[in-house]
Amino acid sequence: MSHLPASPLRPVLRVDFPGERLGRGKIALLEAIRETGSISAAGRALGMSYRRAWQLATALNTMFGQEAIASQRGGKQGGGAALTPFGEELIRRFRSMENKAATALQEDLDWLDAARRPQEPAKDQEPQS
């Protein structure tokens, strides 16, 4: 059961390994590959360059003992990419860790949100009454 935050504040999870890290960008790329079936299409969907998408995919496939993405070069069937069972589990566990962190920190996030200075309305918007 996911606990929805009462405040708009949310923690951002990043796991630092020696010399590399796992965070929202790599997990979002995995999710986009699942949806598009392609590393380059996933990168486009996320607004990242072809080169950056492939760099992140390569990093994901080399930072663990097993690959997260299985890719196939172009040819008669065309290229493509799919998540391995490990890639699917990586997404599931990362999202689970995010939910656990948000739940554990909710009381403190609510306190921080209540202590924030009110935000000024944007200059092109009228103040709400």
What are the structural domains of the chain? 21-109 (1.10.10.10)
How far is it, in rounded angstroms, from Cα 129 to Cα 122?
15
pLDDT given at position 85: 97
pLDDT along the chain (129 residues), means of 10: 62 94 96 96 95 95 95 68 97 97 93 86 62
The structure's pTM equals 0.80
Residue owning tokens 């998408």? 53
Residue 78: per-residue pLDDT? 58
Q: What sign does the CA torsion over 24, 26, 27, 31 have? A: positive
| Distance from C-alpha of 111 to C-alpha of 14, rounded to nearest angstrom | 23
